[in-house]
Structure 1
Amino acid sequence: MKISCEEASHICTKSQYKEASFWEILKLRLHILYCKTCEHYSKRNGTLTSLCDRAGLNVLSKEDKESMKKDLEKRL
C-alpha cells in the first residue's frame, strides 16, 4: 500500500477538488505519516485552495472560452 511521493502529490491535488476516492485518501494519509515533505506539500496545497476559494476568483465559461478561441483564430 506504499505509494511514491509523485503519486501522493497527485492524490493530494485530486483530494483538494473532491475527486479522490476513499482508498486514495487513505493511502495519502498513510504516506504523510512518514513523509514530511509530502505533509508540507499537502498543507500548502490546502492553504492555496482555501485562499483561492476565499478570493472568489472568477473563470470564463466554456462558451466564453470557445468564443475567444474562434475570435483569435479568425484574427490569425
Structure 2
Amino acid sequence: MKKSFLFISCDEAKHICDKAQYGEASSWERLKLKLRISWCHITKSYTKKNTKLTDVMQKAEVNCLKNDERANIQKKFKKQLAKHQN
C-alpha cells in the first residue's frame, strides 16, 4: 500500500500530537495533524484530551522528594525492616 503524501494514519496523528505537546513536531507535521483533525473525530478527541491533560499537569503544584530525601527515607525504612525481621 502506497503511503500518502499528505494524509496520515490515526496512530501517526497521535504520535505527532504527542510531539506537538512538547514542541518537538515540525511545521510540516503540525500541518498534517491539523488536516487529520479537520475530518477525524477520533484524532480530534485525542488531541483535546491530550491538551487538557498537559494543561492540568502544568498547573498542578506537585512537590516531589529530592534524591537525597528519598535515599534518607529508604535508609530509615531498611533499618526499621531489619529490626522487625530479627
Give the TM-score category using the shorter length.
0.7 to 0.9
Question: How far did residue 59 of structure 1 move?
Answer: 6.2
Q: Output the CA distance in 2 between the equivalents of 1:20 and 1:60.
A: 32
More helix by share: 1
Which is greater in Rg?
Answer: 2
Equivalent pairs counted in the alignment come to 66
Q: Output the CA distance in 1 between the equivalents of 2:30 and 2:65.
A: 30
- Give 1:36's match in structure 2, choosing from 32, 41, 48: 41
Question: 1:10 aligns to what?
Answer: 15
Aligned CA RMSD, in angstroms, stands at 2.1
Residues 9 and 51 (structure 1), Cα distance of their counterparts in 2 relative to 1, 3 Å cut: same
Matched, 1:55 2:53: no
Question: How far did residue 11 of structure 1 move?
Answer: 0.2
Identity percentage over the alignment?
48
Question: How far did residue 57 of structure 1 move?
Answer: 3.7
Runs of 4+ more than 6 Å apart: none
**TM superposition score normalised by structure 1:** 0.75
Alignment gaps of 5+ in structure 2: 1-5, 72-86
